[in-house]
Amino acid sequence: MTFVTGEHTTYYKPICKSNQLICGYGHIALITGWTVKQTLVKHLSPKEFAVIGNLYSPTRGITPLIRNLLANPHVRFVVILNATQEDKNAGACDCLLDFFRNGFQEGKSDTGRKCWLINSETKGYIDFEIDAKALDILRNSIRWEEVKTISEAVSRVKFFSQNKNVEAWGNPLEFKEVVTISHVLPGSRYGHRIEGQTIAETWIKILHKIRKTGTIRNTEYGEWQELIDIMAIVTDEPSDFYFPEPNYLSIERQNLQNYIEQMLSDLSSQEGVEYTYGKRLRSWFKQDQIEQVIKKLTLDINSSRAVMSLWDVHDHEGNDNPPCLNHIWLRVVENELSLTATFRSNDMFSAWPANAMGLRALQQHILDNINQRASYSLKMGPLITVSQSAHIYSDCWEYADRLIDEQYAKICQKRDFNDPSGSFVITLQNNTIIVEHTTPGTGEIVNCYTGKSARKLYQQIASNCPSLQVEHAMYLGTELQKAEIALSNSQTYLYIQDQPLSILTKAIKPVG
Ligand SMILES: O=c1ccn([C@H]2C[C@H](O)[C@@H](COP(=O)(O)O)O2)c(=O)[nH]1
């Protein structure tokens, strides 16, 4: 069946991401890349376009776009607005253009999933469940055009919309979607502490934590899995940033410098470009807040007032894109400068690695300036992010799960046993279990527990040291149980910490 859309009666019916799209009655899809779509819709009437939508990511955004185009065969024109620096960084519009220009081939995603790979310098994926023939029909049936400015986009849409009697290329097509099922384990919802040496390592731990115990909920953007208040502590990110090889992060090294500039500089705002954090920090409140905190700490290194605010009370009124990063605080302790940043809402898969790297660069900038101006030799302390709604969108669950499968076990294997809560030395003396609690590193004794029952001892230790690392606590439990067995069978067993229980030979059996 074919039908004629010249009368503008066919309403666009998205099958994916419907709440993120502005739909109309025309036969032109306007893809705005990273430009805010509201800046275009105000220049157009719903008769002139079929749909207006953003395209952010070449690996995750092109598939839903294509599914929607296949389900709406009356769309015969695509105008792609490839205008901003973010578009250049993400490469999604370039990759979509390459899909139309160069096609696709069978391949694998970075996480090993079979998919259609777009023939492009930018990695772009299309779900393998979509029939290749249908993709070719789409490529041959749609006229596409790249534009570089908002006004050009508007005028091309208006121009194409003058075409009357445009025929649909065929019947609507829909293809199966592979749904990633989540098995959520029980766990507390509020307040989580995650620590890692690098942003890459901390990220995997964050993904693991959210995927295992996060609450699945519906939002205006579709489904996501969320924990509330994740505090992520990155202790040792190197100054030139660690990118794993091959890079599994959701940011590429070549895009980092540009992101850092958006965090540190007051880039002049362009129509359609969302606020940048640099603008909020440098000029939004008619103050350069980065300079303010440098001056504050230079004058008083002990100040607890080194605060920067990004949330504007007016953000409640009619701002469609209020900042996710809201508050930054710096603190010097024992010659280290730490930076703590609070996000009201944080996309932990797609945005957190870039957010964390930008903040780390800001921390370095502030440190360098304080050291220069006040001849201090402060060192970089940890970067701490507090993500209030810490979420992973459902379309990233599959990627996140594969990454967790590949990386999480490796990270757990290379853990050290330096529990900041200290260590425990267990011995048997005078028919009693002695447990000495020592400081990490120097091994000074800070407490001593004595008794005959493993359970009573671990209960005392647990109540005194509630922040023991999980594996350390489990280890202590097994050691204490071994000590109790040896104590109640002192003629048979010898207890030595970290050794298997050994059976006493006659020669070394204790007397009496
Ligand atoms: O620096 C940023 C900017 C945006 N987001 C994500 C968080 C949310 O997923 C979405 C913003 O949605 P609202 O909370 O503004 O509705 O973008 C971030 O994680 N970091």
Q: Is the beta carbon of 465 within 6 A of some atom in ligand 1?
A: no
* Dist CA 161 CA 153 (whole Å): 12
- Digit-by-digit pLDDT tens for the chain (512 residues) are 334 444 557 999 999 999 899 999 999 999 999 999 989 999 999 999 999 999 999 998 999 999 999 999 999 999 999 999 889 989 999 999 999 999 999 999 876 789 999 999 999 999 999 999 999 999 999 999 999 999 999 999 999 999 888 999 999 999 998 887 778 999 999 999 999 999 999 999 999 999 999 999 998 888 999 999 999 999 999 999 999 999 999 999 999 998 999 999 987 666 666 678 999 999 999 999 999 999 999 999 999 999 999 999 999 998 888 999 999 999 999 999 999 999 999 999 999 999 999 999 999 999 999 999 998 999 999 999 999 999 999 989 988 999 999 999 999 888 777 899 999 999 999 999 999 999 998 899 999 999 999 999 999 999 999 999 999 999 999 999 999 999 999 889 999 999 999 888 765 555 44
pTM of the model: 0.83
Q: How far is the CA of 416 from the centre of ligand 1 (A)?
A: 34
* Dist CA 69 CA 67 (whole Å): 6
- Omega of the bond leading into 420 within 30 degrees of 0 (cis): no
- Report the greatest alpha carbon distance in the chain: 106
| 104-108 vs 22-23, strand pairing mode | unpaired
- The ligand 1 atom nearest the CA atom of 350: 19
pLDDT at 320: 84
Q: How far is the CA of 324 from the centre of ligand 1 (A)?
A: 5
| 222-234 vs 190-196, strand pairing mode | parallel
Quick one: tokens of 171?
């019947």
Which residue has a Cα nearest atom 18 of ligand 1? Answer: 346
Residue type, 223: E
Q: Is the beta carbon of 293 within 6 A of some atom in ligand 1?
A: no
Q: How many CA atoms lie within 13 A of 260 on its CB side?
A: 16
* Dist CA 466 CA 68 (whole Å): 52
For 139-164, b/e burial (b = at least 16 CB within 10 A) is beebebbbbeebeebbebbeebbeee
Dihedral sign for Cα atoms in the order 137, 141, 147, 153: negative
* Dist CA 392 CA 125 (whole Å): 19
pLDDT at 1: 34
- Per the CB < 8 A criterion, the answer to whether 93 and 33 are in contact is yes
pLDDT at 270: 64
Neighbours of 418 (CB within 10 A): 12
Which residue has a Cα nearest atom 3 of ligand 1? Answer: 324
Q: How far is the CA of 456 from the centre of ligand 1 (A)?
A: 48
Q: Is the beta carbon of 346 within 6 A of some atom in ligand 1?
A: yes
With 0-12 / 13-18 / 19 or more C-beta atoms within 10 angstroms meaning exposed / middle / buried, residue 372 is exposed
Q: How far is the CA of 222 from the centre of ligand 1 (A)?
A: 13
* Dist CA 264 CA 279 (whole Å): 8
pLDDT at 211: 97
DSSP state of 492: T
DSSP state of 4: B
Dihedral sign for Cα atoms in the order 96, 35, 386, 227: negative
Phi, psi angles (nearest 5°) of residue 76 = -115, -5
Pick from 487, 402, 493: which is nearest to 450 by CA?
A: 487
Question: Cα torsion for 487, 493, 494, 498, to the nearest 10°?
Answer: -90
Q: Is the beta carbon of 237 within 6 A of some atom in ligand 1?
A: no
pLDDT at 2: 37
* Dist CA 289 CA 268 (whole Å): 17
DSSP state of 183: -
Rg (C-alpha) for the chain, rounded Å, is 29
Q: How far is the CA of 173 from the centre of ligand 1 (A)?
A: 32
Distance (Å) of CA 106 to CA 127, 353, 395:
10, 29, 21
Q: Is the beta carbon of 378 within 6 A of some atom in ligand 1?
A: no
